[in-house]
Structure 1
Amino acid sequence: MTALLWAMVRARRGLAVITLLLTALAAAAAAAGPLYQDAAAESLRGVEVAAASVDERVVTAQTSDDPRGGDQPLRPYVPGMITLSGTSAQVVVTGAQGEKNAEGEEKAQNMFLATRTGICEHLVIVRGRCATGEREVVLREDAGRDLAVAPGQDLAFQTPPTGSRDEEERSPVRLTVVGFYAPVRFDDPYWGDREILTGLDQPAAFATERTVAAVEGSRMRMVDLLVTPAAFDDMDRLRDDLGDAESELDAGGFGVDSELSKLIARIKDGESQLASSLLLAAVPLVMLCWLVLFIAVAGGVEQRRGELGLTALRGVPARTRWWLATAETSVPVLLAVIPGYLLGYAATALLATVALPGSPPVYLNPASALYTAVAVLGALLAGLLAQVRALTTPVLGLLRRARVRRRGGLVGGVEAMVGALALVAGYQVAAGGDTGSGGIGLLAPLCIALGLGLVAARAIGVPAERLGKRALRRGRLRTGLAALTLARGGGTHWVVVLLTVVFGLLGFALSARDVAAQAWHERAEVQVGAARVLQVEALPAASLLHAVRAADPSGRYAMAAMRVNVNSETKLLAVDSSRFAAVALWPDAYGATPPAEVARQLRPTEVTPLSLTAAEVEITVTLDRLEPGAKAGLTLRLVGTGGAQSTVRVDKLLPGTHAYRIATPTCAADACQLRHLMVDLFTPKRYLVDLTVGDLRDPTGKTVLAGAELAGHHWRLPQTSAARPVPEMAPAAGGLRVWVDSVLTPDMRAAADPAPDPLPLVAAGDLPPELLGAGGTVRVPIVRAGTLPLVPRNGSHGALVDLQYADLRVGGESDAQEPEVWLSADAPADLVRRLEASGLKVLGERDAAGQLHLYEEQAPALAMLFLAAAALVGVLFAAGGLLVTAVLERGRTDGGLATLRAQGVSERVLRSADLGGRFALVLAGTVIGLLAAVLSWALARGVLPVFGDGGTAVPPPDLPGPLVAAPIAAALLVLLTTCLLATKVARGSEGATS
């Protein structure tokens, strides 16, 4: 029996080779999904860790150190994390002996003396060398300039006194300066976001651990755990190890702080997206292989119909016939397991090397072996199903030379099953599936395409046959024979199904990739706001505005921006509207309103603040009434041109009209603004005061701010309540009158606020009638001045406001929230240096191009890359299917169209009809497949996740762009070219026998 089996395989070795190759491809496709998932997950971990903020990448811990020493430093170990330890002490550094500053005092500077694991590998030494020996120190280059010290000179380091009476006098430690280093990068996770080490407030000097320990006084010990991508290989183990490390640090008296949990959550979500997308993405490829294999085996069975009929006629038992037929297919299927698995591994390794960020290695895993086994089992079943019809046909039917078309039966059952599956998957997507959830919803395009293909393949035969008969009656042989070939050709039904599935999946995958690319580009521009954005150190809003305008006086390249804290779901971004149109990116997603119009809506009128210029002023105040025994004073808050704030005060107001002289150094050189006025009232009983603030004059008697200007200005009072009254303010003959009469403690602050009331906003989405600012103490009425589909930074759930308006309305004495400087794409190369010269400290930078690059490397992009690659490989399977049918046609027992040559039909007409039939087959499958893609897109476009964080502030577009047609046209061209080759293959034997 074995010899007979091998004889059968050798006799039809062409079919055996085709079966082996198709099974190998199915096994490779099945193995590729799990293999790619592991490689993509490793790539994703590297991408997310590199993109994470410093506080998300580092677990920081610190404790004060006993100056008497004796404790060994803790070094907790977590696999995949780097443990960094160090010590720091705040010191006063005295300059080289004999060096004096401009005031004639010995040069001295406050700084931190610190040590850290691997410090010399991370410092950029600009002169000299790193400190490696005892009593050596390396300084930041600007600190070295301030101290006028050169390499080789000694400095005295001493911890500052605490002020305690029992404190012993500490002797300074002299250290030798051996080098100078460049300022460190604030976004380098090595520094752990520690201001002590980065020198944000005070410069840091670095030495060895023994050198730092030699300085007497209090020190701080630091232990940081720096995460690497390898730490996320096992999430459960990482959580356990982190818990153990934090317990160890807690036991050692260290305070632990970290935002690592946010990074862990993002990576876990990304890996879940990959798992729900990639493992099911291999299913269509495997099913395409099964379908081509079914076509091949079914065609081979048709070739040996007569052999099967003679075998049955000679009385061979049914079970033997079944075994022989099944074994002939099973042998090449089983032989293809190992080559197919290795092929899948090689293809995945190549894809990972070429396309995945970081080119991660690909390792074999149990899931890939399991998927391969399922693919091979499916191939066995596909071969068995392909032979059922022939093995169940009566002997007379097998011996017929002409085939009899049969309807219904098993094929009808399969069609009903697949149709039901398509309905179930569609219902799951439309009703039960979450947007961007992936999962079983990814099978919807396959089910829709397969179900539609089966129905259309059955239905296409009737109109094709009618068209063929009509063409023959009119004498158009080529058209008639091509149409009849499409209607009655062997394997046509399944080829249409194959092409429908291929183009249905290709259209859906390319549409998803194109829409995602549009969404990534739009969100990158929206989320960043400008071509480049600089994060700067916290400072007052007025200082931010002044520094940016001083660095870019033309207003073409830089714009100040900041977040405004309001107690509302509305996310408010303040921008310098005078520069908004020149600097902000403006994608099509913002709608038709131009940025210049948005700027005009944000700032409908210019503001005129109360300003004065004088180093000293006399302020006239008339105190008309005051509660007996009470004391009243007056406080003014001034803001200089550069944003410097100062508070000046008249401690005691006298009854009647008096002029009070106060120093205003902030306003000596340039004009400054009067931003707040507050009456200080101290009383044992009732809060009663009535006063009028008049003119402000300089020492020469010139009026620098008239009382009439004070009276005519808009003053904003705090939010009143039953427990917290506010004063009344009104114009008076001598200036601005302020009075209050209450038994409750009033809030006597008043802000000079020339901004429009209500405050104009340009928003996307809904807005509340008012906002609460300054921690809920200021109620801000607002008005919608304009509406956009999306706004910069916050997308569909945010609003814009003019920065100066916002500072006047809700700004206080605190610094701006998250201050930034937006730069245009053509900003000069030295603009950052000019901004730093204006007093800004740049902490970090991001740009729209980098944000787009991040989106293109996150989990959704990695999943869509595999989906698109799988869809394009499906086109190759379709081309293979066309060639397989051509190979099988060479062995047809009925002779095909070649029998018409005896009837006088020319070879040229027959060849044209054969080629036209194949063209018609491809075109019909393409049209039906694209229809399936449109239906799948309408139903299931929300299944694939577009953003790794699931963000919805920038919704993706509904339709893909026209460029999607290019790869579809290329795929069609490949298949039409394959038809030319298939025609030559199919008619090769006929030409030889004619």
Structure 2
Amino acid sequence: MIALVLAMVWARRGQTLTVALLALFGVAAAVAAPAYLRAADRAVAAGQVETAAPNELAVAIRAFQKDQREAKPGAPPSGPDLERSGTALAGLPGFHYVYSMEYAAMGIEPSISYASRFAYRQDVCDHLRMVSGRCLIGESDIVLPEQVGRRLKIETGDPITLTFGLRVIPRGGPAFYVENGTPKRFLVAGLYQVPDPADVYWGSRGFFNPGVDLPAGAGLPLFVTSASIHAMDRGAVDTGLDAYPEPGALAVDKLPPVRTGLSEVQTGVTALGGGVDLYSQLPGVLERIESGRAAGHRIVPVLAVALVLLACLTIFLAVGYGTEGRRPELAVVALRGARWGQRWWLATGENVVAILIGSIVGCLAGQLLVNAFAAWRFPGVGADAGLSSLRWAPVAAGAALLTALMAERRQIATPVAELLRRAPAVPNSARAIAAELVVVVLAVVAVVQLKSALRGVGTAAAALVLVAGALVAARLLVPLVTVLGRRALRRGRLGVALAGLQLSRRPGAVRLFALLTAAVAVIGYAAAAVDVASTGRTAEATLGTGATRVLQLGQTGRQNLLAAVRAADPEGKFAMAAVKLPSDPGAPTTIGVDTTRLDAVAAWPSTGPAAGEIARQLHPAAAPTVNVDGAKVTFDISAQFPSGKAVALTAVLSPREGGNDELAELGVLRNGRNTYEQGVPACAKGCTLKVLRIAGGQGTLDVTGVLTVHSINGVPSDVLNDPAPWRASEGGRIGAASSGGLEIEVTSLNGLPEGMFVHPASAPYPLPVAVSGLTALPAVENLDARSTPVDVRASLPAVPGAGSPAVLTDLDYADRLSTDGAVSSTAMVWLNDRAPKDVVDRLTAHGVTVTADIRASQVQERLDKQGPAIALWFYVMVAALATALSAGALVLAAAVDRERRVEDMSALRGQGLSRSALRQATLYTYPVLVVVAVVAGMGVSALGWWLTGWALPLAGLDPPALPLAQWPRLPTMVLTAVAAVVLLAGAAVLAGRRTLRRIS
């Protein structure tokens, strides 16, 4: 019997090979999913490590040792000693540890306002490039930055003398340094450059981030040996122990020991007591890795299940078609009195052998497919092959065998008379419909379960919806083929009629159409997921960043920022000033931007109002500014306050050509008319008056009185005589003085510890804003952290750089309404893709310091290496396998039908059927089926996406507050449909041409 089955396999080796290939695809899909997840885990970890900043990978321990010279003789060291106890903290496997010490030293810099950075760092010579001389060897050696040597004219071999520097902070004055120790003589061994300041070796100490307004190289370290730093007569010392990972230390299988090591390090730091601090962003990196892995483990199984179901449907169709072609053979076996078991073996043995062969090869093929894909897509990461990838292979193989037995069951149970019929009856039994209804019910249950979580039954929701939709579409659309075939026959279109009737009369036509529809639905669903995720990552990278490129700045005044950006880009084509306003934790983020450039620079949501319209609403016309000119500001003021009540006046002035705000403190006002002067050199080229601050001294908050500003140098008298362009805050009123000037009545300063304020009305009030994700917003915290009423002018899908909920306003107007005159630490410059290469130099030349450069392309790269993006590459594999399965099913169906169709068409040809009609009947049958199936399949994929696509964590488990795409773009889906038609119809045409060549 076995020999007979093997002979049957060889006789129909083409059909057997097809079934084996279909089984191979099914088992390969079951193996590929876990294998791909293992590769994806490795790629996620490697991608996060690759795109992380060096300080995100480092672990830094800091300890501040007090001045040991103040300790009693023989007393133990005061404070923690990382040099001796640091080994107890070295608990991170695969990490290098670097010990460092540093303090201030004096002796070579010409100013006492800053000192040299005297430092030792373990193995530093391995990370320096000597431009002259050599690196450190002896106790008296020192190496200097090249910039310092060039500026101070110090060369290799020169002696220098350094002394410990003590920082002194006098009350009311700037800090300075004084010598505080015995001088020590050093020999300059060499001058160095740093090849890679961003190398993770340098940790987070900021060795190469010089301070603002320091001479060239003044903030860079002077390196010495450990013996040198201990030989110095020194005071308090800043010590550190930095750990950074070796290559591969953060591979996915090494993460658990790293987490354990981090916990142990934290315990060790706590045990050392006060004075020791642990700084690390590594837990954030580990959390991102775990989040990406978790998202991938939810995304991949969704279409893996669909692909396995599709493989089972394909095997069911293939076996059913093959058995259909063997009906006469099965009838002969039954007529000869074969026993039931023999009939089963002869009917199923051929397919069982093919499926077993395909399953065995599929185990290897699935892993090899993932290996090849990982080598192409994730070079250097590897697929991490293991036996765990095979855990679902027996299930898939068993499902394939069960599917084959179910497909053959009907033919084995069919009476001999029915088996001998040349045109078998088309099945339309209640049993088949009931089975399809079961699939529909399961799909409904899975979708309901999906509302809770993308786990368990919910994981199969998309697969069940796609299969159920395909089955329903087949039941509804295939009967139409009969109607259309009959209509074509009545109209004399024989070729079209024969093609349609050929499909409607075949028992497997419904199953074939259902399979093609399901395959296209899977392909469409995969394309939708990939497109939505890609669009979302692009939006997150651009809209989330705010612009193509964002420069973060050091502390600067808001008007100085605006002036610098406008000077660097006078035409407003590529740069825009922006500041993040202060807000309480949990409150919506507020972004102030130069709205005159909003349309040209900012990344903007694709829906909602246009950027130009929002700019016009946020920057309406306002009264002109009040200009104060001259290096000396003079105020002519009359004051009348109760005796003994001290009331002071301060004017906040903004230089018009750049520079931070200046405070002209006029002091306590004297009763009567007096002149007050204050030197403000920054206003030599002109300033604008931002605000007048009237504050009472201690015990005078209940003061009332009147002051009149008669004149301010450079301010026209008509501006002061008219109270309309002025605005007073709570605690006072404004009017016109009878003697000329601006009259300010102080009604009460109770509850106003900062005093009352008088603003020129050069900004609209309340402040115009646009909001996203907010229904009511009475006020925001302005740049001075004071509550400012707002006027909501528009609603946006998202605020660039902030998302939703968030607030957008005009930076210039927000600054004019502020009262502090302080600098901002959240200043930014947004740039578009037309920014020139020297934009940083241009900005630096106008008084701002760039501290970070964030590019949307870099953010996009990081997002492309996170879990969701990596997991979705599996969907590309699924789409390719689904195409191969459906194409294989088409070829098999055409091959099984070929003998009978050749006989039928040859007979019709002999009866006068034209060659044209013959070609139509032969070549149009399956391509037309493909076109209809593609249309139906894309509709089913849209239904499946609507019901289940929302549950895929395409933006990660914690998506950003941005309006990410929910539906795929139409061109993407159209191109997917066209590609499916071309590939599947091409396979059908090739199979049809082979049939046509055999018709006489």
Same fold (TM over 0.5): yes
Evaluate the alpha carbon distance shift between residue 612 and residue 360 of structure 1 in structure 2; reply closer, same or farther with a 3 A threshold: same
Shift in Å, 1:563? 0.4
Q: How far is the alpha carbon of 1:343 from its aligned partner?
A: 1.4
Residue 159 of structure 1 aligns to a residue whose secondary structure is strand
Tell whether the 8 Å contact from 2:652 to 2:821 is kept in structure 1 after alignment.
no
Q: Which residue of 1 aligns with 2:152?
A: 147
- The reply on whether 1:231 has 2:231 as its aligned counterpart is no
**1-side partners of 2:161 and 2:717: how far apart?**
55
After the TM superposition, which residues 368-517 of structure 1 pair with which residues of structure 2 at under 5 Å, given as runs? 368-408=389-429, 411-429=432-450, 432=451, 441=458, 443-472=460-489, 475-489=492-506, 491-517=508-534
User: Is the 1:45–1:232 contact (alpha carbons within 8 Å) kept by the matching residues of 2?
Assistant: yes
Structure 2 residue corresponding to 1:194, chosen from 205, 211, 222: 205
* C-alpha distance in structure 1 between counterparts of 2:801 and 2:668, whole Å: 49
| In the alignment, structure 1 residue 939 sits paired with structure 2 residue 947 | yes
Offset at 1:487? 0.8
Q: How much does 1:901 deviate?
A: 4.9
Task: Give, in whole Å, the separation in 1 of the partners of 2:595 and 2:526.
Answer: 42
User: 1:913 corresponds to which residue?
Assistant: 921
Among 62, 69, 72, the residue aligned to 2:84: 72
**Corresponding residue for 1:723?**
none
Residue 955 (str. 1) matches residue 964 (str. 2): yes
Q: Secondary structure at the match of 1:527?
A: coil
1:866/1:814 Cα in 2 relative to 1: closer, same or farther (>3 Å)? same
Kept in 2, the 8 Å contact 1:186–1:843? The answer is no
Report SS of the residue matched to 1:839.
coil
Q: Matched residues in 1 for 2:701 and 2:448: separation?
A: 73
Structure 2 residue 58 is the aligned partner of structure 1 residue 58: yes
Deviates more, 1:13-22 or 1:603-612: 603-612
CA contact 1:638–1:666 (8 Å) conserved in 2: no
- Residues 296 and 650 of structure 1, relative CA distance in 2, 3 Å threshold: closer
Q: Does 1:89 align with 2:102?
A: yes
Q: Match for residue 186 of structure 2?
A: 175
Instruction: Find the aligned partners of 2:842 and 2:942 in 1 and give their Cα distance.
Output: 54
What is the deviation of 1:157?
Answer: 2.7
Equivalent in the alignment of 2:594:
576
Alpha-carbon distance in 2 for matches of 1:973, 1:373: 35
- Corresponding position of 1:288: 310
Q: CA RMSD in A?
A: 3.6
Q: Does 1:113 align with 2:118?
A: yes
Q: Secondary structure at the match of 1:90?
A: strand
CA distance in 1, matches of 2:783, 2:828: 22
* Preserved CA contact (<8 Å) 2:782 2:814: no
For the pair 1:135 / 2:135, whether they are aligned, the reply is no
Distance (whole Å) between structure 2 residues aligned to residue 728 and residue 534 of structure 1: 42
Q: Secondary structure at the match of 1:88?
A: strand
Correspondence for 2:561: 544
Please identify, of 828-837 and 941-950, the stretch whose mean Cα deviation from structure 2 is larger.
Answer: 941-950
Counterpart in the other structure of 1:613: 629
For residue 301 of structure 2, what is the aligned residue in structure 1? Answer: 279
CA contact (8 A) 1:616 1:663 kept: yes
Give distance in 1, aligned partners of 2:673 and 2:888: 102
Q: How many angstroms does 1:685 deviate by?
A: 7.9
Residue 976 of structure 2 corresponds to which residue in structure 1? 967
Partner residue of 2:681 out of 665, 670, 675: 665
Are 1:528 and 1:793, in contact at CA under 8 Å, matched by a contact in 2? Answer: yes
Within the candidate set 601, 604, 618, 2:617 is matched to 601
1:690 lines up with 2:705 in the alignment: yes
Gaps of 5+ in 2: 69-76, 170-177, 213-218
Counterpart position of 1:361: 382
What SS does structure 2 have at the residue aligned with 1:293? Answer: helix
* Alpha-carbon distance, 1:556 to partner: 3.0
Query: Secondary structure in 1 aligned to 2:60?
Result: strand
Are 1:810 and 2:818 matched, yes or no?
yes
The residue aligned with 2:865 is 857
Deviations 1:838-892 (A, max 9, x none): 2322122122333333333333322333213312331222111111122223455
The 10-residue stretch of structure 1 (561-570 or 458-467) with the greater mean CA deviation from structure 2: 458-467
Q: TM-score, normalised by structure 1?
A: 0.88
The change in CA–CA distance for 1:793 and 1:229 in structure 2 (over 3 A counts) is farther
SS at match of 2:86: coil
Shift of 1:62: 0.5
Shift of 1:893: 11
Partner SS state of residue 267, structure 1: helix
Mapped partners of 2:544, 2:794: distance in 1: 20
1:533 matched residue in structure 2:
550
Task: Describe the SS at the equivalent of 2:826.
Answer: strand
User: How far apart are the structure 2 equivalents of 1:984 and 1:661?
Assistant: 100
169-178 or 896-905, larger mean C-alpha shift: 896-905
On the 8 A contact 2:210/2:220 being kept in 1, the answer is yes
Residue pair 2:636, 2:709 contacting (<8 A) in 1 also: yes
User: Who is 1:882 aligned against?
Assistant: 890
Q: CA deviation at 1:496?
A: 0.7
Letter in 2 for 1:659: T
Matches of 1:605 and 1:121, distance apart in 2: 61
In 1, the alpha carbon distance for the partners of 2:459 and 2:621 equals: 54
Instruction: Look up the SS of the partner of 2:607 in the other structure.
Output: helix
Query: Does the alignment pair 1:340 with 2:352?
Result: no
Give the letter for the 1:302 counterpart: E
Contact 1:886 1:982 in 2 (8 A): yes
Higher alpha-carbon deviation: 49-58 or 562-571? 49-58
1:306 aligns with 2:328: yes
Deviation at 1:389, TM superposition (A): 1.0
Judged with a 3 Å threshold, the aligned counterparts in structure 2 of structure 1 residues 470 and 761 are, in CA distance, closer, same or farther, namely closer
Amino acid at match of 2:344: W
Q: Deviations over 1:100-137 (max 9, x none)?
A: x6xxxx89951322233454455566666655654333
Q: Distance in 1 between matches of 2:887 and 2:702?
A: 93
The farther-off stretch of 873-882 and 443-452 is 443-452
1:452 partner letter? G
One-letter code aligned to 2:152 = L
Amino acid at match of 2:163: Q
Question: Is the 8 Å Cα contact of residues 797 and 953 (structure 1) preserved in structure 2?
Answer: no
For residues 516-539 of structure 1, the C-alpha deviation after alignment (integer angstroms, 9 at most, x for no partner) is 333333343322222221111122
Larger CA deviation: 41-50 vs 798-807: 41-50
For 2:722 and 2:226, locate their aligned partners in 1 and report how far apart those are by CA, in whole Å.
64
How far residue 211 of structure 1 moved from its aligned partner, in angstroms, is 3.1
CA distance in 1, matches of 2:575, 2:700: 54
Counterpart-to-counterpart distance in 2, 1:775 and 1:835: 22
Q: Deviations over 1:590-618 (max 9, x none)?
A: 54x352x4333222125544443334445
Q: 1:286 to 1:687 in 2, by over 3 A?
A: closer
Q: TM-score, normalised by structure 2?
A: 0.87
Matches within 5 A, 1:27-42: 27-42=27-42
Instruction: Report if aligned partners of 1:296, 1:885 keep a CA contact under 8 Å in 2.
Output: yes
1:51 deviation in Å?
4.0
SS at match of 1:257: strand
Answer yes or no: is 1:214 the counterpart of 2:231. Answer: yes
The AA in structure 1 aligned to 2:574 is Y
Distance between the aligned counterparts of 2:971 and 2:539, measured in 1?
A: 17
Residue 744 of structure 1: how far off its partner (Å): 7.5
Q: SS state of the match for residue 881, structure 2?
A: helix
SS in 2 for 1:72: helix
| More deviation, 784-793/502-511 | 784-793
Report the AA paired with residue 563 of structure 1. Answer: K
> Can you give the 5+ residue segments of structure 1 that lack an aligned partner in the other structure?
721-725
Distance 1:115 1:624 in 2: 64
Could you report, residue by residue, the CA deviation over 1:12-59 in whole angstroms, capped at 9, with x for unpaired residues? 333332232222222222211111122222222233344445664433
In structure 2, C-alpha distance between the alignment counterparts of 1:127 and 1:893, rounded to whole Å: 88
